[in-house]
C-alpha cells in the first residue's frame, strides 16, 4: 500500500489544521483595528478643523459684505439727497436768472437833474 492510503486521515487533519491556521491569521487584532481607527479619527479631526476654519472665514466674509451693503445704501441715500439739493439750487438759480434778465431788460432810468 501506498503511504497516502495509510496516512489519509493524518494528511487530511494536517491540511485542515494548516488551512485553519491560515484563516485565523487573517483576522485583525485589536491593536491593528485600534491603529486604523486612530488614523481615521485623526483625519476626521483635521477635516473638522478645516471645516470650522472655512465656516469662520465665510462668516467673516458675510459680515464684511453686509457692512459694505449698508455703506452702499448710506452712500446711495447721501447721493440722492445731494441730487435733490442740486435740483433745488438749480431751480433757485433759474429763478434768480429770470429776475436778473428782467432787470437787464428794464428801461434805463435817466438821472434827474
53-110 tens-digit pLDDT:
999 999 999 999 999 999 999 999 999 999 999 999 999 998 888 878 777 776 767 7
* Cβ count near 86 (within 10 Å): 10
pLDDT band at 5 (very low <50, low <70, confident <90, very high): low
Q: How many CA atoms lie within 13 A of 3 on its CB side?
A: 1
Please tell me the predicted confidence (pLDDT) of residue 78.
Answer: 95
- The answer to whether residues 4 and 11 touch, using CB atoms and an 8 Å cutoff, is yes
Has residue 1 got a pLDDT over 60? no
Q: How many CA atoms lie within 13 A of 19 on its CB side?
A: 6
Amino acid at each position: 500500500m501506498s503511504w497516502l492510503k495509510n496516512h489519509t486521515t493524518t494528511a487530511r487533519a494536517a491540511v485542515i489544521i494548516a488551512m485553519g491556521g491560515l484563516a485565523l491569521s487573517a483576522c485583525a487584532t485589536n491593536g491593528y483595528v485600534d491603529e486604523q481607527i486612530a488614523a481615521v479619527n485623526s483625519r476626521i479631526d483635521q477635516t473638522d478643523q478645516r471645516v470650522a476654519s472655512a465656516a469662520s472665514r465665510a462668516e467673516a466674509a458675510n459680515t464684511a459684505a453686509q457692512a459694505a451693503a449698508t455703506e452702499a445704501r448710506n452712500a446711495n441715500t447721501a447721493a440722492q439727497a445731494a441730487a435733490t439739493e442740486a435740483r433745488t439750487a438749480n431751480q433757485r438759480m433759474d429763478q434768480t436768472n429770470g429776475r436778473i434778465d428782467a432787470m437787464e431788460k428794464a428801461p434805463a432810468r435817466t438821472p434827474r437833474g
